[in-house]
Structure 1
Amino acid sequence: MKIVFMGTPEFAVASLDALIKVGFDVVGVITAPDKPAGRGQKLSESAVKQYAVANGLNVLQPEKLKNPEFLAELKSLDADLQVVVAFRMLPEVVWNMPPKGTINLHASLLPNYRGAAPINWAIINGELLSGVTTFFLKHDIDTGDVLFSESVPIDSHHTAGDLHDNLMTVGAGLLVKTVKAIESGDYKELPQNSMTADAELKHAPKIFKEDCLINFNQPVEKVYNLIRGLSPYPTAYTFLNDKLLKVFKAEMTETEPGLSPGAFLTDQKTYLKFACPDGFISVTDIQLEGKKRMGVEEFLRGVRL
């Protein structure tokens, strides 16, 4: 069975690597075009491209997925199955091309958390369980019939980065299981609309900068979950002395603060904590605008508040 793999970030590399190590015939790898990055604006290759080139795989980097030249090249690969992991939305002419269809690995237990940021929103919403799902692509994003899923627990201290790494590993294994099942024809499809009512679904839309601003008027646990759910990227933030302060990690205490929400306390040595209506958020890993990321003790040695 010939496979075309589509993906871009590090999350997708683990799945591609798993398919290669099992011995599947990956005849093409589709990934994002190289983009300028950093101060020098040098062209940066995606994590998937770097892996593919290092392993001698055929790489395609179309600007537009409906480009006739790309479509002709994709068709010439004569793939039986297409596999999508953390890529962009595909036009029907692409996902409907191979005879066995196109499958996607999504970082949630579908049908919940459809959308661009399932890992972030699961933690922001205080979930105790997440997971990965494989499904066949259809017209509407993340709505295709489910093939397999696997649950992953979320600890109270986990950040989005921690959950990302756990789901990346579990997802790679689930994807291999799915491709083997499709190859043998031993699988069942479960329509998502049979799993829960749409009115009950939780969603995972793209996160914008305004979503990352900490609102200390909210309960302390909700603020704590926001910080975890946006760490390490795109990162929750507040303002300190009129400068933007990114917060990567924090701890919470549910003791009556006696301060107005957003006010802070510090001993200038070991702690910096912000008041919420029902407790304190004590920041431990931060980055002030114009400075490097550092622990709170190092930060307090270099600034007077």
Structure 2
Amino acid sequence: MRIIFMGTPQFAVASLDALIKAGCNIVAVVTAPDKPAGRGKKLSESAVKQYAVENGIKVLQPEKLKDPDFLEELKALKADLQVVVAFRMLPEVVWNMPPRGTINLHASLLPQYRGAAPINWVLINGEKESGVTTFFLKHEIDTGDILFTEKVTLSGHETAGELHDRLMAKGAGLLVKTVKGVESGRYNEHPQSVLAEGVELKNAPKIFKEDCLIDWNQPAESIYNKIRGLSPHPAAYTLLNDKVLKIYRAEYEITEPGLQPGGFVSDNKSHLKFAAPDGYVLLTEVQMEGKKQMDIEAFLRGVKL
């Protein structure tokens, strides 16, 4: 089959690499336009573009997906199938173009955690399992008929960065299985399951800065889950000495805190812990505004509380 691959970040590169190594015929990639980045505002290429250029694959970078010139170029490639991994929403004129349809890889067990940030929200909510799903695109986002899924068990300690890497590798393998299945006709396409009565449908919307501020009135375990679900990016934060303190790693203990929520205690050497209503959250890796990321001992050597 002639395949067009659509994606932008490093998460998508693993899938593109796996497809090529499996012998799939990738005739082009579609990725985000180059964007200014860093202090010098030099144009930065997406991870998918960098990989494609290194491997001699044609690259398309449309500003608008309904641009007539882009659509003509896409049509001229005569793709049998399109594959989407960590890209943007496609208009119907794009996803409906190839005769075999358009497949998406999503980093959750659909129908749970539809949306832009499934890896973050599954940890923020303290789930016990996650996984990856491949499905055919249709009108409503992340609602298409499922092709394959694969589950992973969560330890309760991993960060979003660590889960990202696990699902990136797991998803790449599942996508190869899916493409081979579509090519051979060996797959069981089925609608997304209807949740059992009383089971809540949880979404995974884009995360904004205001979502990252810690509310110390929440239970200690919920705060702990928020910290790991937002680490390393965009990172949960609180205010300390009137400055933003990002928190990348923490532990928690359930005990009578003896302080109002948000109050803290420290020995100014090796521990700093904030009170929640039912215990403490112990910070272990942080970054003060204007400083480098560091472990708590190094941080306490350089700050007076």
Same fold (TM over 0.5): yes
Q: What are structure 1's unaligned runs of at least 5 residues?
A: none
Q: Aligned partners of 1:191, 1:302: CA distance in 2, in Å?
A: 56
2:62: which partner in 1?
62
Does the 8 Å CA contact 2:115/2:204 hold for their aligned counterparts? yes
Task: Give 2:76's aligned amino acid.
Answer: S
Secondary structure of the residue that 1:36 maps to in structure 2? strand
Cα deviation digits, residues 126-182 of structure 1 (max 9, x gap):
001000000000000000000000001111210011110000000000000000000
Question: How many aligned positions are there?
Answer: 305
1:26-73: per-residue Cα shift (whole Å, max 9, x none)? 001000000001111111111111111111110010000000000000
Match of 1:191 in 2: 191
1:195 is displaced (CA, Å) by 5.7
Matched, 1:43 2:7: no
What is the identity, as a one-letter code, of the residue corresponding to 2:39?
A: R
> Residues 65 and 198 (structure 1 numbering): CA distance in 2 closer, same or farther, change over 3 Å?
farther
Identity of aligned residues (%): 72
Report SS of the residue matched to 2:64.
coil
Query: What CA distance in whole angstroms lies between the structure 2 residues aligned with 1:29 and 1:198?
Result: 42
Counterpart Cα distance in 1 of 2:42 and 2:176: 35
CA RMSD, 1 decimal: 1.1
Runs of 4+ in 1 over 6 A off after TM superposition: none
Say if 2:209 is the partner of 1:209: yes
Alpha-carbon separation, structure 2, partners of 1:147 and 1:137 = 11
In structure 1, the residue matched to 2:10 is: 10
Aligned-residue offset at 1:200: 2.7
Q: Normalising by the residue count of structure 2, what TM-score does the alignment of the two structures yield?
A: 0.98
Q: 1:135 to 1:197 in 2, by over 3 A?
A: farther
What's the TM-score once normalised by structure 1's chain length? 0.98
Separation in 2, partners of 1:263, 1:187: 55
Structure 2 stretches lacking a partner, 5+ long: none
Work out whether residues 111 and 196 of structure 1, in 8 Å CA contact, stay in contact via their aligned partners in 2.
no
> What secondary structure does 2:123 align onto?
helix
- Determine if contact 1:124/1:226 at 8 Å carries over to the other structure: yes
8 Å CA contact 1:2, 1:27 repeated in 2 = yes
CA distance in 2, matches of 1:274, 1:198: 35
- On the 8 A contact 2:195/2:201 being kept in 1, the answer is no
